[in-house]
Amino acid sequence: MTVDLTGQDHPQALRTRLAGLLAASRARSTALVDAVDEADLVAQHSPLMSPLVWDLAHIGSQEELWLVRDVGGREPLRPEIDGLYDAFRHSRARRVDLPLLTPSETRRYVAEVRDKALDALEHVPLRGRRLVEEGFAFGMIVQHEQQHDETMLATHQLRTGAPVLHADLPPSGRPLPVREVLVPGGAFLMGTSTEPWALDNERPAHPVHVDAFFIDTAPVTNGEYAEFVAAGGYDTGRWWTDAGWTHRVEADLVAPRFWVRDSGEWYRRRFGVVERVRADEPVVHVCAHEADAYASWAGRRLPTEAEWETAARHDPVTGRSRRYPWGDEDPTPEHANLGQRHLRPAPVGAYPRGASALGVHQLVGDVWEWTSSGFHRYPGFEVFPYPEYSEPFFGGDYRVLRGGSFGTDPAVRATFRNWDHPVRRQIFSGFRLARDAAPGDGPADRADGAA
């Protein structure tokens, strides 16, 4: 289910839409936890991730805090567990040792919370207070659950054992007519001030200037990345930044995460299935340092966050910023690979209807795309509704990712900002390349090789 908010809906229509989105997110959460047994639910499959049962109870805890206690004005259901499911109080590596609710207790808790949240949705006015205006608090909780659904999906990728998740193959790809397109320089309105459920770090809309640049029409593929590996990319320090080379050596990186070489071919483990690496799919499970090294080897660079959003949203005919690359209408299965529908990136060229006005493909869905930008506040940034969502993460070494992945819910916007440490590879991350434009430059075709 997708979101099409104009702010003009009849209140009951908005309530119906919100109830549907809450139900859709919960159905996905339920499927992710019901796919495994109790031992898997309480296990820590990686120190980078929480036990699945913690994620589910945390989803319920946040829903209770905002929709039951704050919006609904109800008394706390389980105040004694608030600290257990506070993401800032306990690191992911330590959560497995906490006295967590059992799987059955967790399921009962989140069901009780949902009943009271739906009661609040039915009776609380969705006007007159910023937190509930146009259903913001409910939309925020929908997005929070969706984000943890993707986190739980990443945990499934890290678990060992037989496959428990299954999905249809994505559409077939097709060759794209050009490798890259020119994005004209000029002013661009970045971010949003009108999207009703946009989170604080997406706000406010503000003008930025970008110089003319070229950006690839597709993310870097497995086949292209394998050429970098074969050329000794992991053994040649000059392609890497100092920090990147240090990490490559310390972490003993030799290929994207989950890749294994056997009899001269690359295989990967994907949700418990070992399969040949498909050359035409966007590469996934690479960190920002690997993306930087590949870009250097290829004689290009990663786009900045502003360049990425310009390529995704700018319509040169109207001069306006679109909601999605293809326009303002909600994503459909013909536009993008989202919502855990296929459990893998789709081949390049699989979504021609999802191309941007400038002809850039697969900017939304498939893989989160690393940019070269750190995570910083926009000019005029205002905390809302709570500081911990964005503010503690501004600065530091966090790197911005854009666009969503095959595991991201379809409600993701082209203004949505993700961020993580540049060493992270368990996330569904890939990248595409850019380069500066110079007088006389022309676009390269898809056959261009690395420098």
Q: How much is the pLDDT for 439?
A: 74
Q: How much is the pLDDT for 438?
A: 85
Tens of pLDDT, residues 174-216: 999 999 999 999 999 999 999 999 999 999 999 999 999 999 9
First-residue to last-residue Cα distance in the chain: 44
Tens of pLDDT, residues 120-167: 999 999 999 999 999 999 999 999 999 999 999 999 999 999 999 999
Task: Please compute the mean of the pLDDT values over residues 406-428 and round it to a whole number.
Answer: 96
**pLDDT band at 433; cut points 50, 70, 90:** very high
**pLDDT band at 257; cut points 50, 70, 90:** very high
Q: How much is the pLDDT for 138?
A: 98
Residue 449 has pLDDT above 50, yes or no: no
**pLDDT band at 445; cut points 50, 70, 90:** low
Token pair listed for 321: 């910023």
Query: For residue 302, which phi and psi values (nearest 5 degrees)?
Result: -80, 150
Partners of 216 in beta bridges: 180
Residue 8 has pLDDT above 70, yes or no: no
Alpha-carbon span 171 to 346, nearest angstrom: 7
Count of helix runs (H) and strand runs (E) in the chain: 9, 12
Tens of pLDDT, residues 116-127: 999 999 999 999
Q: Give the domains, in start order, of the chain with CATH numbers.
A: 11-158 (1.20.120.450), 167-451 (3.90.1580.10)
Residue 198 Ramachandran class (φ > 0 left, ψ -120 to 50 alpha, else beta): beta
Alpha-carbon span 145 to 55, nearest angstrom: 9
Judge contact between 406 and 413, C-beta under 8 A.
Answer: no
Partners of 187 in beta bridges: 209
Residue 272 Ramachandran class (φ > 0 left, ψ -120 to 50 alpha, else beta): left
- Distance of alpha carbon 64 from its chain centroid, rounded? 24
Judge contact between 431 and 405, C-beta under 8 A.
Answer: no
Average pLDDT, the chain: 94
Judge contact between 178 and 292, C-beta under 8 A.
Answer: no
